[in-house]
Chain A
Amino acid sequence: MDNKIRTFMEEQFLIEFDETFPENSNLFMEGVLDSFGYVELCHFLEREYDIKFSEREMTSNVLVSLTQIQEAVALKVKEKDNASAVEGR
């Protein structure tokens, strides 16, 4: 999962995460994410992982860096899987 998000961001926003641009960089402050890019990113994550971000999540500091985005997606996928398991049981 991690590489997929990272690859998407690197291709979409023409960046390269490395020691000079670490994964915990604030993507808004670095000029990577503007509002259009943010919409594109959220669309990608929701489509790719079949998850949904609430407005509150989008307007808080949850999706600011690659590290945080990966953690948020992992948590939502886990919650979704747990919910599916409960439904299945």
Chain B
Amino acid sequence: MCGIVGLVSADFPAGELPQIISNALSAIGHRGPDGSGYVVADDFVMGTVRLAILDQKAGIQPISDEEGRYWLCYNGEVYNYRELKAELEEKGHIFKTQCDTEVVLRAWIEWGEGCLSRFNGGYAFALYDRRTKRMVLARDRFGKRPLFYHVRGNALYFASEMKAFLAIPGFAFEQDPAQLGSIVAQWTPLPDQTGFKHVHSLPMGQFLSFLNGEIACHTYYQLTFDSSRQVTNEKDAVEQIRAELDKSVSLRLRSDVEVGVYLSGGIDSAIVAHLARQYNNHDLYTFSVTFEDSQFDESLEQNLVSQHIGTKHLAKHITYKDIVDAFPDAVYHAEIPAFRSAFVPMYLLSELTAENNIKVILSGEGADEAFLGYDLFKETILRSEWDDLSEDLRSERLSSFYPHLAHYAGGSNAAVAGLYQQFSKENMPGLFSHEIRFQNGRFSARLMMPDGAQDPFADIMGLTQSSGEFASMSAVQKAQWLEYKTLLSGYLLSTQGERMSLSHGVENRCPFLDLAVIDVAAATNLKFDNGFREKRLLREAFRADLPAEVVDKRKFPYRAPDTEAFIAEKPDYLDLVLSDSELSKLPFINKKFAGLLTKKLINTAPEKISTKEHQTFMFLLGIAMTNHFFVERSGRGASGKLGNLPPLQKVVDLRT
């Protein structure tokens, strides 16, 4: 894992390029504190800050082939690099390092863009061909690693984090109200969105080609959930799930440094920790967040799993004050407003991880999407069948979904049933599964000034319609597709995942995001049950290995205190959303609505604040904070504004 930056065909004098690239690398120095390097030529510059995981001595970037025709800077890991290396060696390629970086370079030389479909990993890279003057940017299938780009005139700029663009003379961030409207309505940016004008995120499963000032984007991977895998009975299904996860974890343990595991308290990370422990001869480190507020805390299950498996367990205890204090720094690293504060404890957790000299962690991310772990999937099935079910059966299903709500409503599920009744038919083309979430998102979208021409859901409808596969999917598969394309990549893997872990130089790996694991899930989901017990087969697959309390525990969404923490702690930066003069810096924000919202929240008991009010407040604060850091370029509350350049290990000057 590393960070990359670069540009091609810039209008700047070649003499200025080293300083520009050094400043850009400094801005993302936290991603790779082990070293850095760059190559500069008349027509391109690219550089890397390196987190040394494999072949720590030799794997210095950027690298090139013997002729110096191809130059590569690379971020991430291709876990099957050993197998690919053996294949390439058979074809006559000679390797100088034990790094996957060199495998990526050789694979490109051998197979061109066809290499991407051979890679099993999480990566982003830039590869420049000096002969054709073509720059390629590529990103892994699920968007594990970020890659942003900006085009100005005939120049292309790219970076692992947007803040690196501040090193470009004349560059200025400008928030995009239309994108922000879409983000707050859907909880997360769409694959190409960043919230800023003229700054793009390369979507997952795509590569970009830049030649003669022209950009062309290509998709090399499409989510399909089609599986030709033969699974004849439940026993077979369970065995295949175990085997694929075991393989996936063992691949992701490939590292020259120690690997730890994030334990949430749920079944997914417990499985990962259990499998990782099988391969560890020494103590396995596990890390967790625990909460002062018991409604968010899972320390009981975390300790249970740790003791059962036998890990060296460390926990970061989180208070309201911790969240409020770390919020500005976490937003600075996330670079995007988020719908909740749950990414902030992950920022603090990665700090704890780094302090214990663990550079690589495994997590359970992706299991809920693959094995239908979210309530959303059950809701989709139920709403699809709604008109065909008796009232008794509807009520029975709802009772199993929302026991807490029935309690809140005096034992009745009528409120949820009334809501489902309204959403039992598709109202938004293609978005049936997410309609309740998205319609609630309309509440948050009111933060933005009314713009009659802009429907916050227009872009996502365009995204689904542009996918050839989407229309033929079942309702549940559509729900999965939308989760992968929106919340997983746009928030869970990025804002809450990679951006927080890399803020402290920790690489995260997700065994559930392996094609073979997703394939076996697709082949078994709903084949042996009705989908109303989330992740049933996965639980059965590891029942014998883990404590029953964890195997049988109902899905407990990871959350952290939101509005209540900020109202209770009253940080000085709260004036970003409370003061008229500060809000005036956001001309696209509906000040009347923002004022009504904040006034109500300040005067409402925490337990009476609705989920969508929490989310709207968090978005408002996040929009104001990102504006503060990136548009206003102020630094209140955030540390490391320009970072420090890790020790330069390699400078190649190809200028004529």
Contact = CB atoms under 8 A, between A and B. Distances in A.
A38 B413 CA distance: 11
Contact of B423 (A20, A28, A39, A60): A28
Contacts of A20: 450
Contacts of B593: 14
Nearest to A15: B446
Given A38-B415, A58-B417, A29 B439 contact: yes
Given A38-B419, A39-B408, 18 more contacts: A14-B443, A14-B600, A20-B450, A28-B422, A31-B441, A31-B442, A32-B443, A34-B419, A35-B405, A36-B405, A36-B611, A38-B418, A42-B415, A55-B417, A59-B417, A61-B422, A63-B418, A64-B422
A87 B463 CA distance: 62
A56 to B, nearest CB: 8
14 contacts: A14-B443, A14-B446, A30-B439, A31-B442, A32-B443, A34-B419, A35-B419, A36-B611, A39-B409, A55-B412, A58-B414, A58-B418, A59-B418, A63-B418
A5 interface: no
Contacts of B443: 14, 31-32
Interface string A18-45: 0010000010111111111111001000
Interface size for chain B: under 10, 10 to 19, 20 to 34, or 35 or more residues?
20 to 34
B620 to A, nearest CB: 12
Nearest to A62: B418
B458 interface: no
Contacts of B417: 55, 58-59
B422 A34 contact: no
Nearest to A54: B414
B436 interface: yes
Given A34-B612, A36-B611, A39-B409, A61 B439 contact: no
Given A34-B612, A39-B409, A26 B596 contact: no
Contacts of A61: 421-422
Contacts of A39: 405, 408-409, 415
B56 interface: no
B610 A34 contact: yes
Interface string B572-594: 00000000000000000000010
Contact of B440 (A26, A34, A60): A34
Name the residue in B415, B596, B597 with the highest tally of chain A Cβ atoms < 10 Å from its Cβ: B415
B376 interface: no
Contacts of B10: none
B257 interface: no
B416 interface: yes
Interface in B601-654: 610-612
Contacts of B423: 28
Contact of A28 (B391, B402, B405, B419): B419
